[in-house]
Amino acid sequence: MGEFKDKIKGHADAMVGEIKRSVGKATKNTDLEAKGTAQKMKGDAERAKGAVKGTINKF
């Protein structure tokens, strides 16, 4: 069950991060762009963590 939570949280973080990155880029706000990139990377890592947990739980 934890893998689904990680995947959902990761997806949400990745989406919000991408929005922040895009807004930062459009407004030439490099700080917001960097924070968005970092949050997107965190979300991608959480999704991967959820996928690994799901694979491990199958065994």
Mean local confidence (pLDDT), 17-31: 98
Q: Total structural domains in the chain?
A: 1
Q: Whole-angstrom Cα distance, residue 32 to residue 37?
A: 9
Q: What's the chain's average pLDDT?
A: 92
Among candidate residues 33, 57, 44, the one with its CA nearest the CA of residue 11 = 44
Is pLDDT of 58 > 80?
no
Is pLDDT of 3 > 70?
yes
State the residue range of the domain holding 10: 2-57
Mean local confidence (pLDDT), 3-14: 90
